[in-house]
């Protein structure tokens, strides 16, 4: 992982490389849409049991499609490999030099934590513990 990360960091200073590496290597990985899907009581399928009926993360309906079809659906694939170009301009992820390794190669971010920190409309913001993350907007209770 470190070799790949270092090859992507060519334009990042040494101090920032260390912060990025520490964050990527030590964070808790989210399994949403990587190894799990969750069926809600009404048949809707979400990538995370804590995102419930948030339409951004509903990837299908078990009453209309098989689990295999949902797992390989365009929406599930899109969230799994969220293109950097589709990140909002307000998010520091939009221009992050390590976006690919952070979001697409090393377990992504915990969507629930991002939404808890910044709100539903800021779902594409960085993980709150990312060295590039803005200050948390909301009070978070653990």
Report how far residue 66's alpha carbon sits from residue 45's, in angstroms, rounded to the nearest whole number: 11
pTM, 2 dp: 0.75
Cβ–Cβ under 8 Å, residues 8 and 33: no
Residue 38's φ and ψ, nearest 5 degrees, are -130, 135
Least confident of 3-17, 21-35, 51-65: 3-17
- Give the per-residue pLDDT at 137: 74
Q: What angle do CA 63, 69, 72 make, to 5 degrees?
A: 140
Residue range 40-60, pLDDT digits in tens? 999 999 999 999 999 999 999
pLDDT tens, position by position, 59-74: 999 999 999 999 999 9
């Amino acid at each position: 992982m470190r070799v790949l990360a270092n090859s992507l960091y060519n334009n990042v200073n040494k101090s920032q490389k260390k912060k990025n590496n520490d964050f990527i290597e030590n964070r808790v990985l989210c399994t949403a849409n990587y190894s799990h899907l969750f069926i809600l009581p009404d048949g809707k399928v979400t990538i995370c049991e804590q995102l419930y009926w948030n339409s951004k993360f509903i990837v299908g309906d078990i009453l209309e499609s098989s689990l295999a079809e949902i797992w390989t659906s365009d929406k599930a694939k899109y969230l799994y490999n969220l293109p950097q170009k589709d990140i909002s301009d307000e998010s520091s992820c939009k221009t992050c030099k390590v976006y690919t390794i952070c979001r697409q190669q090393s377990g992504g971010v915990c969507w629930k934590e991002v939404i808890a920190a910044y709100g539903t409309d800021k779902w594409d913001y960085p993980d709150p513990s990312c060295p590039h993350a803005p200050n948390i907007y909301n009070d978070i209770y653990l």
